Structures are given as C-alpha cells and as structure tokens.
Chains A and B, each alone.
Chain A
Amino acid sequence: MFQLDEEQRLILQSVREIVQKEITPRAAGLDQTGEFPLEAVRIFAKNDFLNPLLPRAYGGVELSTFIFCMIVEEIAKACASASLLLIAQAEGTLPMVYGADEPLKGKYLRRLAGGSEILTGLGAIESSAGSGIFSLPTNAELRGSHYILGGERCFVKNGSVADFLVLYAYTDRSKGSRGISAFVAEKGFPGFVFKRDEDKMGTRGTVYSEMRLENLRVPRENLIGQEGEGFANMLKTLSASRLFTAAQAVGLSQGALDEALSYARRRVQFGKTISHHAPIQFMIAEMATGIESARLLTYETAFLLDQERWEKVGTYAAMAKLVASDAAMKVTTDAVQMMGGYGYMRDYPVERMMRDAKATQVHSGTNQIMKLIIGRDLAGIS
C-alpha cells in the first residue's frame, strides 16, 4: 500500500545509520540533564535533515510529508526529544510555506537552507488558555510601520533557542476567528521577553519556553499573508503538527516494543524465557497491534496531506494523534511492566520512553481536544 522508491529507501537507511551512531548513545544523557540537544541539531543540519520539508525554491530538499513522518519515526525510536527538533522546525516553517508572500519566505526560509543550524518554532499557546487555543486573547495593533503585540505565550517549543518564531494574534477581535493573523517575530525584536524554560516529566531534551510579549514590535512586512488569514493558517499548521506528533508516538512505541522484546527473549523465569509465557505473549500482541494500526492511520494522514486534501486532514490528523499517542502510552507502560523491576530503573530506556509518551498525549493539543475536533467534525458542528 505504501511503497517506497529507491531514493526514499536510501534516505531512511541513512537516517537509521546516523540515529544509531549519533542519537541513540546520547538519549539517556539528554533526559538526565534536561539539556537542549545542540549536538543533534549539528548532526541533523550537517546531514540535511533538520528541515526536510523546506521547499526547493528556498534551498531545501522538500521531501514529502510522508517521508518526513518516517524520518521523525526513525529518530523517535531512539530519542523522542531529538525527533521533536524536526517537528519544532516544521512548525516554524509551515505557516510561511502555507501563507507567506515571496519576500517574507525569501527572507526567513532561506536562513534554514543548506547546513543551517538556525532554529525556529511556533508560539501558538496562550498562557492560561492551555488547549483552549482558540481563545487566544493577544491583540496585535498596527501602529505605523509596526504591529504591536502583547500577551503571554507558554510551551513554545524551541522558544528560548529559536532565531525566529511564528505567532498568532487578533488584529480585529470583532471578526472572531476571521480576525486572527500570523506573524514572524525575531528573537531580537524589542519586547520579546523569555521568562523561563519548563522543567518537564518527559521529552526532557527539548525546550518549552514561557515568554511574554511586552509591546513586541513586529514590522508590518512580517505579517504572514493578509490580515485575518491567521486562523486558517493555524489550523493547517496544527494539523500537520498533530500528524508529526503521531509519527513521533509511533516511533516511540516501536522503540519501546523493540527493547521489551529483546528483554523478553533473554529473561529466564520459571525455567524458560518470559517470551514463552502466555501473559507476556498477550502483551506483545496488544502492543504490536496497537503500533501497526497507529502507523497505518499516520501514514494515511500523511498521504492525505501530501495530496493537500485539507477537508480531511484536520480530522484525520486528530485521529492519528489520538490513536498513536494513546498507543504509545500503553505500549511504553507495558514495556516497563514486561521488564519488571529493571523496566522501572533509569538504566534501561523504557521508563524514559514512558515519560516521553505522556508528552505525545498532551502536546499539539491534548487528546481530549482531539476527541472534540473529531466529534464536532463528524457531527457537522463547526
């Protein structure tokens, strides 16, 4: 059903080799220190897969969403934190790909080309709004040559390390969602205040920042598209982001299952390896079935996105994210369970994967919000 061509196979092969050599050995350390994976940035940039979605017109390799998801999956098998780097980059890139005019694209997207190590991200979540993303109260007011933005932003992936970020804000509150606009803001713009990076349960090798916009001055030409186009832009970007989270969750699950399987084949209890015991086989069966169904829905959504069938992408991405992240939570928790006392110890990677899996259920919109999106769409409620 999903056939890879020779080039795609080679790309994945090289990703797999680099991950094995460079990312796997660093995963535990990243988790422990909670540091940002600068080394991974360097390695991904050098090998040209920090920004695989970057259009050719701006010096990128412009891979399909489908292959991008497979790359994210490969990295997440070893280290969910490192895979989030690619997701954050895509979140900072896609709003411009979807909606910016030529000069703005040329200015910012080119910076990500070649072996660039420049980081970007998306500041979509208003502090105190949480998943209530649509109630973002930030206002952007045009004063002469600049928009002035206020408000607080939280959980901004790459927030404190990014060179530029995409922000959404109301330019006309009276128009409701049609009054939302998108902007590109650079780190150095006056009024961009970084408050702190969060201390998190999982995906600890990533940066989630809290930021304040204190009359942030954004040049008028940094408006993405036209005023009022922000909401549609945000929906597309968040859909893509949910799809990528699904791919991350699938990789994470596969990584945990691989660890648990290798343990189950070695561990002898009651005179045989535990892989011979029926309760363990049941767990393996449920884990693998969960992963395969999540993977299929993820690939199908990627396929739909590559076909630009936007009328379906939003709901499918929500479904993929819901299924894949719930599967990841169950699979990683079962992996710890299968490995018993060893699974609970930090020497083995599965407890980290379990903590990382929780992140996939809560970021890019919680799974509760995914259910609302799916339910409302199918019930015909806008």
Chain B
Amino acid sequence: MFDQTSFIPTEKLKALRDKIQRIARDKIASQASLVDEEEFFNHEVESLLWDLGLLTLTFPEQYGGFGKGRTVALCLAVEEIAKVCASSSLLLIIQAVGSFPIIHGGSKELKKRYLPQMSQGRKLVAYLVTEPSAGSDIANIQSTAVREGDDYLLNGSKCFATSGGVAGIYSVLAKTSEQEEKGSSSFFLVERESPGLSIGRTESKLGQRGSNTTEVFLENVRVPAGNLLGREGEGFLIAMKDFDMSRPAIAAQALGIAEGAFEAVLQFVKTQHTLRTPIADHPAIQSILADSAVLIEASRGLTYRAAILNDEGKDNTKFASMAKCFAGDAAMKVTADAIDALQVLSGYGFVKDFQVERMFRDAKLTQIFEGTNQIQRLVIARQILKESM
C-alpha cells in the first residue's frame, strides 16, 4: 500500500522490488511463524535468496552484484522480506556486512580467489567483531593477530555472530598492535575449515529467532598474510565504513517490520464491521493508523536518503545513524500499537496466532544491533558538532 517509487531512482531497482515483493509474499511469508517457533535456520529460504541473487547484491558486478545503486537495492530487498519475515531479511544484511571488509579491503588476488567461491559456491559470510567485553566499545576487542613469518596467528572469542554457525567464510576483527587506540586492529578473512576455528553454542533469542547466532572461537588459527583485509590497523576504519551501509539496511529492516504489522492491522479493520459502522471509522483506530503511517513514512524518508547518499559516494554517517535510530524506535512503537489495536478489536493481539507479537519481538533487535540506539545518538550528535565547526 505504501509507494516507494519516489525513492527508487531506476527502472532496474523497481523491477527488483516488484520481484522480491511477489516472492516474499508467495514463498517466504508462510514459513515465518515456523522458524520463529522452532528457532531454526531455514536452508530452503537461503537457497531461494541465492537463486534470486540477493546474497550477492553488494558484490562487484562480475560476481553477481547489483552494480550502481547497490545500497538502495539492499535496502529494498531487506524491507520487502522483512515485511513478512525479519529473520530471513537479516540473512541479507549480515551477508552484506560480512563481505564488506573482503570487497573493500581484500587484495585483487584474494578477491579473485574467494569471491567466486562465495558467489558460485554459495558461501555465507559472518562478521566476527563483537566480543564478550566489546559490544558498543569496538576498540576494546581482545582478540589478537600476531604476525609469524608469512602468516598471522589468530586467537580470541567472538560472540553474537549472526550466521556464525552456517557461514563458510568469516571476516574477523583482531588486534594487530598493543596500542590502545583505534588504529590497533585489522580484519582478516578466515575460512570455516581452518584448524583451530570452532563454533560455540547457538543463542536463543527474543526475536529474529530464525536467524543463527553463535559464539565462534579462534585458537591459534593460522591464516596467510594475504588474508589481511586492508592494511594493518585499518580495521576500525573499515568497520565504520561498513556501518554506513549496514545502518540504512537495519533501518530498512525496521521499516519492513513496521509495514508488516501495519498491514495486519489495516487488513483486520477493513474486513471487520460492528453492528452500525465499520471498525475503520472508529476515531481510536484511525488515530493508531495515522500515527503508524506517519512513523513509517518518516522512516522511509530517512532510510532511503541515507542509502542514496551512500550509493552516491557521499558522507552519510549522520543520516545512516538517524535512519537506524528513528526506524528502530518507530518499529517498536508501530508493532506495539498493532498488538494493542488487535487486542482491543479481537482480544487476540497478544496470542501467537496473529503475527504481530512476533513482529514486536523482532523489532526490538533493530534498536540494539549494529550499534545500540544510544550509540547512534552519540554518533549523530558528534557529526552535527563536527559539521558546525
């Protein structure tokens, strides 16, 4: 019902959106409750996403990438899928986030070797940054990479790794120098089969339960020096650049979740009548519809503005944080209101038979990952202060 066309600059993007919308509705929606309930990673959905080329959207074009407008393409795909199943949309986001250090930091030889494996060999990527003592405080990671001849020796414990247990390739952030500063860490490409790499436990979560979240341990994992992504000490910088793409994508996910919940309420009120009047004529219901629609449209504006800026190669850090923060908060409000609306109308908002309680749980994650909304506010304020200097 919402028209995204004003944010979609090309016909190619429109065609992509339409295709995904259809397939999300026909093939992904029906399994959303099941993956939530049973808490499992659905390999059939993964295959479908590979078939559609959605897990390589942000890759260079010769490896299946979308090309110009790739951030918008990622956001559109994430949004459409998140309308029906947030867990499935998260797979797209983490694939883009995890492959970013490889695409933007890997040497020519490294990319030539791994990108075909990843795109044709259909390998998922996980992004190993967060550690038990380094969440928002990325600079505080304890994992180390020590140069030994032609190799690096990696050691450390990573947690909350999305796709951690199903990935074939990992982008790992580790300290390459003892200095306590932002230039002390670097990214490395690590293969799943590397001796010393092991998967810890799989986490049970509040929402997005169809995504796979695990611990990953690195114990004397040896990687060739050529697997260094970017130069030594550039890890923090790459992570920040990655955020400029991933935060609009999280915003798009939040937007999609909110739209899914909104749609559920809208369908319900349009089909129900009381004795005298359609439920949709009730002022209390109209107020919920209006508030939700305002939040959704405002989220859309920020999300695609941040995405377009990124595609144009312009600084989007402030807008990326604004989009992520606003859309995440909006999704929480819209999904909570959807539960209330269905509860008032039918008494059934809170029970699992309707999808909105799942959407509410899924929405909470958007306020937390890729930098909590508290961190986003710091980023926004810092950017504003920097701009006004």
Contacts and interface: CB of A to CB of B under 8 A. Distances in A.
Interface stretch (A4-12, A71-79, A340-348): A340-348
Nearest to A200: B351
Contacts of A201: 350-352, 357, 360-361
B340 interface: yes
A362 B352 contact: no
A283 B374 CA distance: 10
B349 interface: yes
A200 B356 CA distance: 12
A200 B358 CA distance: 10
Interface in A294-352: 329, 333, 336-337, 340-341, 343-347, 351
A364 to B, nearest CB: 12
Contact of A336 (B344, B360, B364, B378): B364
B356 to A, nearest CB: 9
B133 interface: yes
Interface string B100-141: 000000000000000000000000000000100111110010
Scoring B284, B372, B373 by chain A CB atoms within 10 A of each residue's CB, the highest score goes to B372
A154 interface: yes
B347 A131 contact: yes
Interface string B184-205: 0000000000000000000111
A290 B137 CA distance: 29
Contacts of B140: 269-270
Contact of A340 (B203, B344, B368): B368
Nearest to A277: B374
Contact of B352 (A200, A269, A340, A345): A200
A128 interface: yes
A337 B367 contact: yes
B263 to A, nearest CB: 19
B137 A270 contact: yes
Which of B135, B204, B347, B351 has the most CB atoms of chain A within a 10 A radius of its CB?
B347
A366 B346 contact: no
B8 interface: no
B40 interface: no
A199 B351 CA distance: 6
Contact of B350 (A200, A340, A344, A345): A200
B262 interface: no
Contacts of B339: 358, 362
A368 interface: yes
A127 interface: yes
A223 interface: no
Interface in B360-389: 360-361, 364-365, 367-369, 372-374, 377-378
B347 A130 contact: yes
B347 A358 contact: no
Contacts of B204: 345-347
B321 to A, nearest CB: 14
A333 B364 contact: yes
B160 interface: yes
B137 A366 contact: no
Contacts of B137: 269-270
Contact of A125 (B347, B349, B357, B368): B347
B358 to A, nearest CB: 8
B286 interface: no
B206 A344 contact: yes
B344 A354 contact: no
Nearest to B180: A271
Contact of A130 (B336, B345, B377): B345
Given A279-B374, A344-B205, A362 B361 contact: no
Interface string A111-143: 000000000000001011111000000000000
Contact of A344 (B348, B365, B374): B365
Contact of B372 (A155, A329, A340, A354): A340
B30 interface: no
Nearest to B275: A135
B343 interface: yes
B205 to A, nearest CB: 6
B332 A333 contact: yes
Contact of B347 (A127, A200, A283, A346): A127
A359 interface: yes
Contact of B360 (A130, A155, A358, A367): A358
A346 B205 contact: yes
Given A279-B374, A351-B206, A358-B339, A344 B349 contact: no
Nearest to B377: A279
Interface in B246-303: 284
Contact of A155 (B336, B347, B357, B364): B347
B341 to A, nearest CB: 8
A201 B130 CA distance: 29
B163 to A, nearest CB: 15
Given A344-B206, A345-B205, A346-B204, A368 B344 contact: yes
B135 A367 contact: no
A346 B160 CA distance: 13
B159 interface: yes
A232 interface: no
A36 to B, nearest CB: 17
A268 B374 CA distance: 16
Interface in A258-281: 268-270, 279-280
20 contacts: A127-B347, A130-B348, A154-B347, A199-B351, A200-B351, A201-B357, A201-B361, A269-B134, A279-B374, A337-B373, A341-B160, A341-B369, A344-B364, A344-B368, A345-B203, A347-B203, A354-B206, A358-B360, A359-B350, A369-B344
The 3 A-B residue pairs with the shortest CB-CB distance, nearest first, are A130-B347, A351-B206, A269-B137
Interface of B: 130, 133-137, 140, 159-160, 203-207, 284, 332, 336, 339-340, 343-353, 357, 360-361, 364-365, 367-369, 372-374, 377-378
Given A130-B343, A346-B203, A362-B339, 11 more contacts: A270-B136, A283-B374, A336-B206, A337-B367, A337-B372, A337-B373, A344-B207, A344-B368, A346-B204, A355-B361, A358-B360
